[in-house]
Structure 1
């Protein structure tokens, strides 16, 4: 009942009816696909490979390009679902050999699914027509396409490859980006503004996009479409699909730009200060609206692809403070599964939070995210993996960087966890 109200109110708060927005999104993404080679609808150029050469993923071949080597077939869903997954962050790889090593390690350890990060902070880790490369790749090999290599190498090992993207983040650091194409420079109006009109400040935490703006939602849906139509990924994994945690913890309220306030007044007839509960509910609806637009794109482009989201461990807190209603997304089918970032050194607390999620999800797929990096002993990780096996909804370990350090203690942990990771 509660989500039915959300749906009705969501239709009221946007400036176009849902069908018109979907047509608009489809037109936008067709423009991306139909642009002349290298040209984007935002007026930029397709990003070359890290060292200057353009690349082809091998999934969708353009005219005049050499025929790529045949792609290995993806694994059957029944062989990789429920997932025995691991998060592989973007800082883990810099070369094709790095990606091959990652896939070798994951396969040998018994994982059947790799969550491979391809978007970090308004920068991506594949040659995009929409966003620039991550700055870390300035010295990467020419023509290196990490996502293409990851798909190929995962499928060769019969593992699923899910493209993991940080959705809201659009920059991080004490200094602004130098690339004029980067969103911080190209679309300053898309960021968070406080009641005094100040943009979210530069610093060590992510600067986030504002999902209350229709242009932002449309942009992120188009970026998602680019990934799933150009690469044979087995899933799209949405992370940071919420309001910015670090700023909320400081007591700063967002967003108060003129466009957002006008949309809110048009939808409700209110100002934020008139009714805090209504303001919070509307902001929750905007995040849900972003998930809805990505799902609509997803169904149109690749309807059988898995769409999942990483959600906070305390579902009540994350809905009330960060406007992330992951349980509702599950119940109405906006996502196929939620990966709960249930990172905890206490197995009792881990069980309690996972039970709350499982109850709220109404039988839908709730995957246990396990914070292996926090565990001082092997027993804690073992206990939590055993619970995940008992629940029969899969698991995901965070993270590859923590588990595959080569240190003797981590090697012993891998040996101790081997049967559980492999599903035995």
Structure 2
């Protein structure tokens, strides 16, 4: 039985216990569609990015009081926009936004890696999100160690310094090597530390597995491949196997320890172009997760190793290389017949950006995305990147989404 299928009855118990307060707000229904249709459950998510202080905290080294105030302001913005799920990045670069037993405090809190901020941001985030009837999913980056390549800049006790053979410099950054079984187990342990100790509603991975290709550079995993790559037709197949194991084993361990916690991934949206694989999407993307990132995202869905998938469909409707509608329909076909929920990742950050094509200058573009997706039964919601734009909404694109599609609050899917 797939992981998701095994959890249906357990989920029903968890949702019944957690849904009472929201029922008081919503009655028996959920969200109202743009056309005023029947109420239903719907995933309405928001990413809060902490890496290099994208969303929160706004800068390293702020007082604990200021950090708490900024976080609650973002959570209040989610409520104001009638969202119901927050994906908070709590392990951006092999570090932690909680007192981890495995990795140091994040430099994005205090400005100095390993320095105790004097409070527990994750405990506060969970408590404040739940007070607002928001789910909180812990967002983890499995393999990125640092946004530089100098291990000497890491704290002396950092695992990448204690085990220098674990780390690979590439493209100006430092990564844990996914080809080492001991690394795979360690990053699972480091992430699950938060799952076991806090009342998280979900575990969320983003799109970084093997790193995105950098022209003229190679990811040096020769020694690991020589040691562990026997029996695979080529290095690419071995790399996909390594990431498959990470995803499958993480799901199994969440299932074992906390079956009520959802496991989801938000990959780059193109698995493979149809010109590469007849099963792929009718796109001409320059990156294909299967080939370039070692991420067989289609398999994870078809095998039921995850509970939900949020492909980052960060292109406008009609984009010549990667059309929004084409990718939404491709992912709908991919999840069809599985227990994996499909939510669409939306590029709110592009709305109004003068560097983006003309469709993104129209405040109605994102609303048209949701209108299109409502005609695809497999789509159960959307997530918006990122929190800063949800709150600030520079050209009113988010307000248009709320007005057209989110007329009332909604509970997330079971």
Task: Normalising by structure 2, report the TM-score.
Answer: 0.73
Matched with 1:159 is: 134
CA distance, structure 1, for counterparts of residue 184 and residue 154 of structure 2 = 24
**3-state secondary structure, aligned to 2:309:** strand
Structure ranking higher in helix proportion: 1
CA distance in 1, matches of 2:160, 2:187: 15
Partner of residue 299 from structure 1, selected from 246, 251, 255: 255
Deviation track 1:203-225 (CA, whole Å, cap 9, x = no partner) reads 3xx42222221111101111121
Distance 1:131 1:347, change over 3 A: farther
Q: CA deviation at 1:181?
A: 2.2
- Alignment match, 1:232: 199
Secondary structure of 1:288's aligned partner: helix
Name 1:46's counterpart in structure 2: none
SS in 1 for 2:205: strand
Cα deviation code 1:269-323 (max 9, x no counterpart): xxxxxx5xx3212211110011111112111110121000111111111101211
Residue number in structure 1 paired with 2:180: 213
The answer for the alignment partner of 1:396 in structure 2 is 383
Matches within 5 A, 1:62-81: 74-75=18-19
- Tell me the equivalent position of 1:49: none
Give yes or no for the alignment of 1:370 onto 2:346: yes
CA distance in 2, matches of 1:262, 1:280: 15
2:323 aligned with 1:353: no
Q: How far apart, CA to CA, are the structure 1 residues paired with 2:292 and 2:401?
A: 35
Name which of structure 1's ranges 384-393 and 330-339 shifts more when overlaid on structure 2: 384-393
Q: Contact 1:110–1:421 at 8 Å: present in 2 too?
A: no
Counterpart in the other structure of 1:100: 72
- In structure 1, the residue matched to 2:48 is 88
Deviations 1:99-153 (A, max 9, x none): 1111111111110111111011111111111111111222799532221111111
Q: What's 1:190 paired with?
A: 166
For residues 259 and 249 of structure 1, what CA distance do their matches in structure 2 show? 20
Which of the numbers 204, 210, 226 marks the counterpart of 1:261? 226
Q: Is 93-102 or 304-313 further displaced after alignment?
A: 93-102
Q: C-alpha offsets along residues 358-416 of structure 1, whole Å, 9 cap, x if unaligned? A: 222334322110101112221111111222333342100111122323x7x44x33332
1:288 aligns with 244
Alpha-carbon distance change, 311 to 219 in structure 1, aligned in 2, over 3 angstroms:
same
Shift of 1:421: 5.5
The DSSP-based 3-state class of the residue aligned with 1:340 is coil
Which position in structure 2 is the counterpart of 1:416? 400
Deviation track 1:254-281 (CA, whole Å, cap 9, x = no partner) reads 343423311113x34xxxxxx5xx3212
- Worse-superposed segment, 122-131 or 172-181: 172-181
Mapped contact 2:77–2:390 kept (Cα < 8 A): no
Q: Does 1:250 align with 2:215?
A: yes
Separation in structure 1 between the aligned mates of residue 137 and residue 404 of structure 2, nearest angstrom? 21
Mapped partners of 1:172, 1:183: distance in 2: 16
Spell out, residue by residue over 1:161-190, the C-alpha distance to the aligned partner (whole angstroms, 9 max, x if none): 101111121111264424112243222211
SS at match of 1:104: helix
Q: Which residue of 1 aligns with 2:155?
A: 179
1:335 aligned to which of 306, 309, 312: 306
Partners of 1:217 and 1:293 within 8 A in 2: no
Deviation of 1:75 (Å): 4.7
Aligned length: 330
Kindly indicate whether the alpha-carbon contact (under 8 Å) linking 2:167 and 2:175 is maintained by their aligned counterparts in 1: yes
Counting only pairs closer than 5 Å after superposition, residues 103-182 of structure 1 correspond to structure 2 as 103-138=75-110, 142-173=117-148, 175-176=150-151, 177-182=153-158
Report if the CA contact (8 A) 1:190-1:216 is conserved: yes
Is 1:200 paired with 2:187? no
Q: Secondary structure at the match of 2:364?
A: helix
User: 5 Å matches for 1:18-33?
Assistant: none
The match for 1:10 is none
CA distance in 1, matches of 2:116, 2:146: 24
Tell me if the contact between 1:119 and 1:164 (Cα under 8 Å) persists in the aligned partners. Answer: yes
Q: Write the deviation string for residues 64-104 of structure 1: whole angstroms up to 9, x where unpaired.
A: xxxxxxxxx85579979541001111123331111111111
